[in-house]
Amino acid sequence: GDVLDWSDAGLSGPVLDKHSTGGVGDKVSLLLAPILAACGAFVPMISGRGLGHTGGTLDKLESIPGYDVAPSSDRFRAAVARVGCAIVGQTARLAPADRRLDAIRDATGTVASIPLIVGSILSKKLAAGLGALVMDVKAGSGAMMPQLDRARELARAIVEVAAGNGLPTVALLTDMNQVLGRTAGNAVEVRESIDHLTGAAHDDRLLDVTLSLCAEALVLGGLASDLEGARAAALRALQSGAAAERFGAMVVELGGPADLIDVPSRHLPAAAVVRSVDPAWPGVVNAVDVRAVGIAVVNLGGGRAREDDRVDHSVGLTEVAALGERVDPGGRPLALVHARDEVSAARAAHAVRAAFEVGEFAGESRAPVIEVQRTV
């Protein structure tokens, strides 16, 4: 397979990347890549598609008309050099054995094997020619690895193996006991990401995870000397509009519309049916089966049960209630379902309602960033 070499690309900053183990509503990459680019890093992000209950960054980006997730190597390198970031799919020449090993893992019941997960993730990242990597390892009901101790074991293994291969890596353990942000789907998540880049939306948990990962990456890459300064720089890049500018430039560079940031609703597909999901009774959200929420999105057509399934980019959920939030019938719903027809909307509403536990008092909710794993 190929190993990307950025030494001859004339880049003026470090080559950084981030990888997530996957969750529901995880649109962090769409914010992080342009933020890091605006801070002087170069981010050649090679992303995947959704499989099972988790969403995939490529599926989200394919809801943007014209966006090319499989550019030629020259176009990819040019986009990274010119804009500072490009989010694309894996080529056949990058870690070519990984896809075969994935199929074998699937057939042999070893999908959850930590050594094989580490090999799959790092084979791609080492081939991308990175200077440093930040990992977002999720734990909770919507994560691939729900148990915290298993997620911690995975995070530690990734950091150690990466360091042994000369790739400085920090792993954040983050919470997936609720949807990240307020949307789950494809076009709806792109819209929420754009709204955060332009300041039209603000979700504390989503921003905390994003800025924490950005800060670690900037310190690893030598663009900041401490986490406090790094986080402040990332926040400035976001609030000044510099990150939004980079995102818009990346979209144009890879074939998408020039005015996506200004008028996203003109370009992003919208579902034919939007229905409110009311709780059965008023109360406070005290638990969410996030995996079930993700499966509801897949069943709407927003994800894949099998690798060759077609994705409907318009469907999904918006205004998803957070843990500790008060909901009531006819008032604050659990979520809005975006569906292609009334039948699938009703089915999704039933599944979403069943996934939320509403009671008198708020349950315990974990901090978005649970802990950090670094090499000793």
pLDDT in tens, 48-75: 888 788 889 999 999 999 999 999 999 9
Residue ranges making up the domain that contains 287:
269-359
d(CA 53, CA 355): 13
Q: Is the pLDDT of residue 376 over 70?
A: no
Provide the percentage of residues in the chain whose pLDDT is more than 90. 86
Q: Which of 27, 125, 182, 196 does the annotation list as catalytic?
A: 125
Residue 5 lies in a domain: no
Whether residues 239 and 342 share a domain: the answer is no
Residues 251 and 283 in one domain: no
- CATH number of the domain enclosing 339: 3.90.1170.30
- Report the pLDDT averaged over residues 299-328: 94
In a domain, 364, yes or no: no
225 is catalytic: no
The pLDDT of residue 160 is above 70: yes
User: Are 160 and 229 contained in the same domain?
Assistant: yes
- Residues 278 and 146 grouped into a single domain: no
C-beta neighbour count of 93 within 10 angstroms: 12
Q: What pLDDT, in 10s, does the model give residues 13-51?
A: 999 999 999 999 999 999 999 999 999 999 999 998 887
- 119, part of any domain: yes
The residue annotated as part of the active site, out of 2, 75, 98, 105, is 105
- Does residue 27 carry a catalytic annotation? no
Q: Give the pLDDT of residue 306.
A: 79
| Nearest in space to 174 (alpha carbons), one of 79, 290, 82 | 290
Whether residue 307 has pLDDT greater than 80: no
Same domain, 194 and 77: yes
Confidence of residue 97 (pLDDT cuts 50, 70, 90): confident
Q: Is 124 one of the catalytic residues?
A: yes
User: Are 71 and 220 part of one and the same domain?
Assistant: yes
Q: Does 7 fall in a domain?
A: no
17 catalytically annotated: yes
Residues 244 and 286 both lie in one domain? no
- Are 210 and 329 in a shared domain? no
Active site residue 141: no
Instruction: Write down the catalytic residue from 63, 120, 193, 344.
Output: 120
What does each C-alpha distance from 239 to 40, 243, 257, 343 come to in angstroms? 16, 8, 23, 41
Residue 331 domain flag: yes
Domain count, the chain: 2
Q: Catalytic residue among 49, 53, 124, 152, which?
A: 124
| pLDDT given at position 143 | 95
Annotated active-site residue in 57, 63, 174, 212: 57
Please indicate, yes or no, whether residues 217 and 297 belong to a single structural domain of this protein. no
Asked whether residue 1 is assigned to any structural domain, the reply reads: no
| Helix 242-253 with 227-239: angle, nearest 10 deg | 70
Residue 303 lies in a domain: yes
Residue 125 annotated to the active site: yes
For residue 2, pLDDT over 90 is answered with no
Rounded mean pLDDT, 305-315 = 89
265 noted as active-site residue: no
Based on the residue annotation, tell me whether 375 is a catalytic residue of this protein: no
Overall pTM > 0.85: yes
| pLDDT given for residue 186 in this prediction | 98
Number of neighbouring beta carbons within 10 Å of residue 48: 16
On the CB side of 22, CA atoms within 13 Å amount to 18
Q: What is the CATH number of the domain that holds 101?
A: 3.40.1030.10
**Residues 184 and 282 occupy one common structural domain:** no
Q: How confident is the model at residue 101 (pLDDT cuts 50, 70, 90)?
A: confident
In a domain, 9, yes or no: no
Say whether both 256 and 298 belong to one domain.
no
Smallest CA-to-CA distance from 252 within 75, 91, 128 is with 75
> Do residues 210 and 336 both lie within one domain?
no
Q: If you average pLDDT over residues 106-110, what whole number do you get?
A: 83
